[in-house]
Structure 1
Amino acid sequence: MTNDQVEMRRGFLLMPFREDLEPIREIIVAAGRDSGVAIERADDIFRPGVVVEQILEAIDTAAVVVALCTGRNANVFFEMGWAWRIHDPILVAATTDDLPFDIQHLRAVIYGHDDHPNQSIETLHSRLTSAINEALASPKMPRGRRLSEPPRQRTRASVKARLIDKGQHNYAIEINNNGNVDLNEVTLELPEDAVNWHVATDMFTSYPIMVLQAGQFERAAAMVSAGGPISIHATVRGKTPDGEEVTHTDLLTIL
């Protein structure tokens, strides 16, 4: 670089690949040049690689980002959402109808109203130059952050019982740890009047169930004879590793 040369900063342009928008692109590139910014588009990237990843990298490393919203192109809005993490993209549109509701409150450079000097294509170059200079003078404001470690999952202790009808008067009772913490010393309690309900607790791995891991269940055969209730409230009890008691009561019904 000679002493007479000035190093150009790099900008990135988000826009549809439409021939009718090429004149607008030329104005945007010229305005960038006057502000000391070489504004590139995705097809200006010639190195090998995954195109989408290259576009996102170009957005992240750009000094300024310009988004041509005319036509409401989906790719433009996706890339603009990515850019918004660290940039305030300069929005350019023919009319405000090109701006979806979520971004209509943002400042945009409009060029499609010839009867309005501040929204005509004749003044687009000068207005873009001012917008680019303002963007260059503003520091990047990250709106998100990467977590240094995964968020901690909130502890939720929960256990329940359900009756499984296996057909031909064959039943099973399932005790399910549907929380995210292991439970110890899990028991099943039936009401005193449920004399016709019999649960083969010896079919559990142990009884009380010494450890019922989070997300796991155990089942035991059950028999319900005549001469008593067909609906009962069964209570399951257990303890978390910290000693907190967990209790849940479920309605079990023979259909």
Structure 2
Amino acid sequence: MFGIEFLPRSLHEDKTTIQLMREGALAYLKKQVDFILIPTNPRQVPSVDSLLASYALKQAIDDISFIPTLSGAHYVGQSGVEQFYAQLLALRYANFKHIAIIGGERHNQESMTSKAMIHAIRQELGEEIYIISGSGSLEDNIGKAKLQEKLQAGVNAIITQPLFEAKTAKAFLKTFRDITHTGGYEVQVFLGVFGIFHIKSALSINEANLGFKIPQSYIESMGLNQAKQSYERLWQDMQQVAKEYQASLYLSTPKHNDLRAYGG
């Protein structure tokens, strides 16, 4: 299974861009796009409402799944919880079968956590809806505990933070496999691949404290005009790791709809 991130801007132009991304993925990455995830206010910059955009796109392009994202950072206190439940009613009304969630605890301790969001979704929408969430590193007990909470709450799939080294991906998957096997969880895992094509972008991402860091070794490998080659090597490495561990792949870029990641 293969998914990509897409940031909506203009419905007419978006339909063309999505078609180019799908064609590029098939020709350049040898992957058929199974779903497109619509983020919510990435990097705290206002964007088209994820639920509205996902609905409009699925009406316009009916042969692929569009998955909206809900962020716990938007739902603070009791009024926030009520607003979150209203969004769940909208999901049911629009007949969405998949939802991605991001816990808000990193931004505000009073925001809805991933655990609370998953519990609410299961309570309101039952077991039929497919819930996707993310995971950071599993190198320490904090990361493992956060993953355990999501698994216990009933998440269906996990997308890793962007990974830039095969050894890091393997280490994550080994720990992930141990945790899920021990707990008896059947959860799909996606390796996050980040297509980045400029050293300046990599440095600005590291400065922004987005919850992950691009390793210095990868930045150095980008060298002089070697960014595309580094990305191609990364993609090949992640394909091999995913195959070895029966994982899936998920592709995003810092500029979101960057066609260079799809051979453009």
- TM-score, normalised by the number of residues in structure 1: 0.28
* Structure (1 or 2) with the greater strand fraction: 1
Of structures 1 and 2, the larger Rg is shown by 1
Q: Give the structure with the higher percent helix.
A: 2
Q: TM-score, normalised by structure 2?
A: 0.27
Higher RCO structure (Cα 8 Å, ≥6 apart)? 2
